[in-house]
Structure 1
Amino acid sequence: MSDTSAGPRLLGPAEVRQLADRLDLRPTKQRGQNFVIDPNTVRRIVRESGIGPDDVVLEVGPGLGSLTLALLGVARRVVAIEIDDKLAGLLPETVATYAPGQADRFEVVLADAMRVQELPGPPPTALVANLPYNVSVPVLLHLLMLLPSLERGLVMVQAEVADRLAASPGSKVYGVPSVKAAWYADVRRAGAVGRNVFWPAPNVDSGLVSWTRRDPPATTATREQVFEVVDLAFAHRRKVLRGALRELAGSAEAAAAALEQAGVEPMARGESLTVEQFARVAEVLAS
């Protein structure tokens, strides 16, 4: 008989292959499916995420359940959003088999994380996920907007996306994802993950990004207005702001006047501005 009070057993390479064979699963690039086969990696993600026994954790793209099982060993409850009906169908059984003592604290939602509007049960406090790499930024931003209850999180994404999300103004890779993520949270790089911990091994490196929710900049502009300015500022990376914001302001002269009023040099480029400065520019343009 299995001991239901024990912690979850984690999946290794053999268990992952076994579960994939049961579903006759051929991982697809289109859905960014690369399954973690190394128990130490999921232990590390859970440890780095800082979640505890009071947390309700949201996981996106749980796949075969490698990270899910590790999360159940620590969190109060785990809700997983899975877009693939075969994977979503198998998950509860996998949890019941490998984490019988924690199975009642798990729920899977068959949905596209980009289109989710609500989740069952108590509001999630943390997001911990190996995000599908092809949609990692839009999924992260959508969930940060949708769920103000999310206080912190740790996500695994493609290494260069991790660099972008955590970049500071003035950095070569600072751009739209950096500014929009900073609207919601303090974001930092939390380490690298090798290719050999996945099956199939991806042809890109992976990185961990950790974030802590903070209040957005104090501004009378709406988030949509600020994000519109951000999108325009980076749409033409080589353009200075007076040119990049010309359409929104009506003319380059009007854009320059608005920038000066916001305390921003009209000949500056988008990559030099903080999220607070973008908010000030949006406020002036909106008024």
Structure 2
Amino acid sequence: MTDERSRLLGPAEVRALAGELGLRPTKRLGQNFVHDPNTVRRIVREAELAPDDVVVEVGPGLGSLTLALLPAVRAVHAVEIDPVLAARLPATAAERAPALADRLSVVTADALHLRAADLPGPAPTAIVANLPYNVGVPVVLHLLAELPLIRRGLVMVQSEVAERLAAQPGSKTYGVPSAKLAWFASARRAGPVPRAVFWPVPNVDSGLLAFDRREPPPGDRTEVFALIDAAFAQRRKALRSALSGWAGSPAAAEEALRAAGIPPLERAEQLDITAFARLAAARA
């Protein structure tokens, strides 16, 4: 097996690959490539993966994180929207980790439209990814909904996005993303990531978000998510007023709130996902 030092990509290797492909990272695809081996080692370590895990990696890019994942797990499904990058990744794995290359499958697709049937071989049990900044939240929520065997994840996103996703009820940053993620999983911040480990260097700070799958509360997810959207659309208002459109009138909203055991003058940021589910059921 190729030793780790020669397997992983550093700044020179990342730039050489980009030059070979004539690649200019684009903001449209949220392309900021990690070129620091210590960072990808840290991500794999923080992900707490088991040897039998099957990882789905979104946006593998030039393969920095992919190469660190391959020796740690049973298989990696790399989902890449850029066809040039997707075509090069298997060759990179074969060149730098020949004994591990058969663990990699590459799917050229938009992760926001990925279906379980698009992935070959064993179903994913974990998400580990450096997510494009512009689609971090919807990608996480979509994959958790679409891939039910995923039991844990560690993703790198914009720092403020990580903060919002991990926020708890009652905090200023708690909102739609944190409430919807709580339907699927418990989440926590797993530390910052320096800007200098990326090429090109982004204009925003990054952070790691870890999450563990849990059983959702009783109820219909579509109905609960529609309620969450309505409640936070006017988050400064009391729920009796904020949910008048959702319920049909302020009086109907108050009736549903009282039936769910929620004070009508409560605000959306005070409700955890269980309370949202109770409220959706009370209206139904």
User: Above 0.5 in TM-score?
Assistant: yes
Per-residue deviation at 1:276?
A: 0.2
The CA distance in 2 between the partners of 1:26 and 1:6, in whole Å, is 30
Matched, 1:175 2:180: no
Of 253, 269, 272 in structure 1, the residue corresponding to residue 270 of structure 2 is 272
- In structure 1, what is the equivalent of residue 225 of structure 2? 227
Deviation of residue 51 (structure 1)? Answer: 0.6
Q: Is the 8 A contact 2:2 2:97 kept in 1?
A: no
Residue deviations 1:114-142, cap 9 Å, x none? 00112111111110000111000000000
**What SS is found at the alignment partner of 1:64?**
coil
2:238 is aligned with 1:246: no
Counterpart position of 2:194: 194
Q: Which residue of 1 aligns with 2:94?
A: 96
Please identify runs of 4+ aligned residues in structure 1 that moved more than 3 A. Answer: 4-8
Mapped to 1, the partners of 2:160 and 2:114 lie a distance apart of 26
Residue aligning to 2:133: 133
Matching residue's letter, 1:100: P
Aligned-pair identity (%): 63
Q: Deviations along 1:90-131, whole A, 9 cap, x unmatched?
A: 000000011111001101000000001121111111100001
Distance in 2, matches of 1:51 and 1:282, equals 36
Give me the whole-angstrom Cα distance separating, in 1, the residues matched to 2:104 and 2:3: 16
After TM superposition, the structure 1 stretch with the greater mean CA deviation from structure 2, 113-122 or 14-23, is: 113-122
Matches of 1:122 and 1:256, distance apart in 2: 48
2:19 and 2:238 mapped to 1: Cα distance?
A: 54
Query: Root-mean-square deviation (CA), in Å?
Result: 1.0
8 Å CA contact 1:6–1:101 kept in 2: the answer is: no
- How much has 1:5 moved relative to structure 2? 6.2
Question: What per-residue deviation string (whole Å, max 9, x for no partner) do you get for residues 162-191 of structure 1?
Answer: 000000001010000000000000101100
CA distance in 2, matches of 1:279, 1:226: 6
Deviation for aligned residue 1:52: 2.1
Structure-1 separation of matches of 2:249 and 2:234: 16
In structure 1, runs of 5+ residues without a counterpart are none
| In 2, Cα distance between equivalents of 1:264 and 1:237 | 16
What is the aligned partner in structure 2 of residue 283 from structure 1?
Answer: 281
Q: After TM superposition, give the deviation of residue 6 of structure 1 in Å.
A: 4.6
- Match for residue 16 of structure 2? 18
Q: Please state if 1:72 is matched with 2:73.
A: no
What is the count of residue pairs matched by the alignment?
Answer: 281
CA separation of 1:163 and 1:261: change in aligned 2, threshold 3 A: same
CA distance in 1 between counterparts of 2:234 and 2:20 reads: 49
The answer on whether the counterparts of 1:126 and 1:150 sit within 8 Å (CA) in structure 2 is yes
- Looking at structure 2, the residues matched to 273 and 17 of structure 1 have their Cα atoms a distance apart, in angstroms, of 47
- Report deviation, 1:237: 1.9
